[in-house]
Amino acid sequence: MTFNEIALRPPPRSAYPLLIVGERVSRRSAAALRDAGIQFVDALGNAYLTIDDVLVELQGRTEPVGRVQARSPRAAQPRQSVNIFSARRSQVALALLTWPELATGNVRAVATAAGVSLGQAHDALTQLERAGFLVPGSRRLDRTDDLLDYWAAAYPSGLGRRLELARYHGDATTPVKVPRDDQALYLSGESAKGTILVSPATLTAYVDAVDPMLPIVNRWSASPGRVPNVFIRQKFWVSPLPEEEEPAPGGRNAPWPLVYADLIAVGDPRLNEAARDWRTRRARPGEV
């Protein structure tokens, strides 16, 4: 049982939290399920359960050595599910979460905003519709909260890992300087502007390309003996709002779902609280 298979299934209508029980959950899927708040138990003893103030978490248990399972040659093979959170599809999902109006527009606009080809955008929209995140016909976003939960949980080990350009050690509380005024830089995670955090311990920024002068003007160190706390990643999206693409002093914020994903990826309770606050204010601005 994998995280992707769970994400493809509409959640049951119940007042109780979702609990997944199966033969085996991989280490990667276990981390994604946990980040998405989905409880699970497998036959090997791996588990993640929350009951009021009680947390039960067991991980890392693998198949016992020497165990052989007899399989009938006629046994039906499990159906291979489509990974709706592959890198390119994740880029499309981010674009739709950030600018929901794109979902009902033309595919070319979605492709441009997500930084993917026209064919990749069409494929992602098709898979998201099949998974129940887009209403058939109108392509209006549906189950948006679920999509954000699943996308953010899959982001660190999927798309996020592929976007990394460089790591440094430096002062995360100092405003970022760019070598040239025409360079755009987008802040994310706890370094984003507008979070409830006062003193960020890490700095996450997205750029079109790493300027060799960027670490120099900010006095960041690339020494292997220093613990990295500055993470530079590849910007892949293009905002449909031209003003959001213009460089700004100190940098602009990355798309709000990306800021949310980078906050919860750390697993720090302090950042989890900041992520919940950020999500409430950004996803439902009319309720604040």
Whether 146 and 168 share a structural domain: no
80 in a domain, yes or no?
A: no
4 band by pLDDT with thresholds 50, 70 and 90: low
User: How far apart, in Å, are the Cα atoms of 268 and each of 200, 201, 234, 264, 280?
Assistant: 12, 11, 24, 7, 18
67 band by pLDDT with thresholds 50, 70 and 90: very low
Among candidate residues 58, 74, 98, the one where a domain is terminated: 58
71 vs 243, higher pLDDT: 243
Whether 121 and 49 share a structural domain: no
Residue 240 near residue 102 (C-beta atoms within 8 A)? yes
Q: Look at residue 61 in the predicted model and tell me its pLDDT.
A: 67
Whether 281 and 197 share a structural domain: yes
Whether 171 and 274 share a structural domain: yes
Whether 171 and 263 share a structural domain: yes
Q: Look at residue 170 in the predicted model and tell me its pLDDT.
A: 96
Whether 273 and 227 share a structural domain: yes
139 in a domain, yes or no?
A: yes
Residues 6 or more apart whose CB falls under 8 angstroms from that of 227 comprise 169
Q: What string of H, E and C letters represents the secondary structure of 246-272?
A: CCCCCCEECCHHHHHHHHHCCCCHHHH
Q: Look at residue 81 in the predicted model and tell me its pLDDT.
A: 61
Range of the domain at 46: 3-58
Strand order through the sheet with 164-168: 164-168, 230-234, 203-207, 185-188, 252-253
63 in a domain, yes or no?
A: no
CATH number, residue 124: 1.10.10
Whether 150 and 171 share a structural domain: no
227 in a domain, yes or no?
A: yes
- Domain count of the chain? 3
How many Å apart are CA 210 and CA 39, to the nearest integer?
40
35 band by pLDDT with thresholds 50, 70 and 90: low
49 in a domain, yes or no?
A: yes
Whether 185 and 150 share a structural domain: no
94 in a domain, yes or no?
A: yes
Residue 110 near residue 98 (C-beta atoms within 8 A)? no
Say how many C-beta atoms besides its own lie within 10 A of residue 241's C-beta.
10
75 in a domain, yes or no?
A: no
Whether 253 and 223 share a structural domain: yes
Q: Look at residue 76 in the predicted model and tell me its pLDDT.
A: 43
Say how many C-beta atoms besides its own lie within 10 A of residue 219's C-beta.
12
Residues 6 or more apart whose CB falls under 8 angstroms from that of 44 comprise 24, 61, 62, 63, 64
Q: Which tokens hold the place of 282? A: 């950004």
129 in a domain, yes or no?
A: yes
Whether 170 and 109 share a structural domain: no
How many Å apart are CA 288 and CA 284, to the nearest integer?
7
Among candidate residues 120, 154, 188, the one where a domain is terminated: 154
Q: What pTM was computed for the model?
A: 0.74
Span of 8-22, 135-149, 207-221, 245-259 with lowest mean pLDDT: 8-22
Whether 254 and 207 share a structural domain: yes
